Amino acid sequence: MNDTSTHASFTGSIPENYNTYLGPLLFEFSGADLARRINTTVSHPAKVLEVACGTGISTRHLAEVLPIGTEILATDLNEAMLNHASSVNANLPGVTYSQANALDLPFDDASFDAVVCSFGIMFFPDKSLGMKEMTRVLKPGGVLALNVWDAFDQNLSVGVVDRVIKRFFESNPPRFLEIPFGTVDEESGRGLFHDAGYDAVDVAHVSEVLEVKDYSLPARGLITGNPTIIEVEQRAAVGVEEIIAAAEKALADEFGPTPAKLSFQAIVFLAKKPEN
């Protein structure tokens, strides 16, 4: 996460809830997919920068597939998320962690063979500047890879939970989930790459259908595994457990009894930095 506002306040129990409840749903399949794409572009031990590594799920997938000897520097602005990542991934070979602001990366020009940002750019307060910084530290011919979540229409269960959360606020409801799910679409993503100087961008829509045995996993994760929980605890007229229960019921009403199939979709962008 790289926004210093409340939307980036992944503190307290949020990193653990994010990793426990959202990890199996949202970040395992997408992390594995992004790592495979990077691996097809890296044929030798490389220096890889990960920006906005979160709790380190994508870091683990990168470390598992990239050539032996690859060095991965995983960074995040949020200290709590970074600490969680370094704790759960303590034994990953070739991985180090460092706090860094994506809008002012503390690295030399052309330092890395690949730069990866998994579900981070949506939170950058200046996306164009973030793209320029990631491009600056990337070697010519190196690969920049990003993924973002598609809109609620392609992630229906997230939209259901978002509507439930908003029902409990008479005005100014939490709108955090709108940021990761739809802030950057295919057109705007291509535009960010074009403005940063990339000639061609490969774009893919990556979907996964996952079996959910208990609706508490998405309900609890989408409410307590991100800064939504801060606004709920500060301003909601009811307790968080009541909202979670309402979200579970709404998911059951929409998708039927468990075990149920839920679909998720991300958009992946990958481009090589021009040689000149």
Domains of the chain are: 6-272 (3.40.50.150)
| Alpha carbon distance 79, 62 (integer Å) | 21
β-partners of residue 98 are 75
Angle at 114 between CA 113 and CA 119, to 5 degrees: 165
- The size of the chain, in residues, is 276
Are 148 and 41 in contact by the 8 Å Cβ rule? The answer is: no
pLDDT tens, N- to C-terminus, the chain (276 residues): 444 344 456 767 899 999 999 999 999 999 999 999 999 999 899 999 999 999 999 999 999 999 999 999 999 999 999 999 999 998 899 999 999 999 999 999 999 999 999 999 999 999 999 999 999 999 999 999 999 999 999 999 999 999 999 999 989 999 999 999 989 999 999 999 999 999 999 999 999 999 999 999 999 999 999 999 999 999 989 999 999 999 999 999 999 999 999 999 999 999 999 997
Give the list of residues 6+ apart from residue 171 with CB closer than 8 angstroms, or none: none
Residue whose structure tokens are 């602001």: 101
pLDDT recorded at residue 7: 41
pTM value is 0.94
Amino acid (one-letter) located at 10: F
Amino acid (one-letter) located at 255: F
| Alpha carbon distance 234, 208 (integer Å) | 34
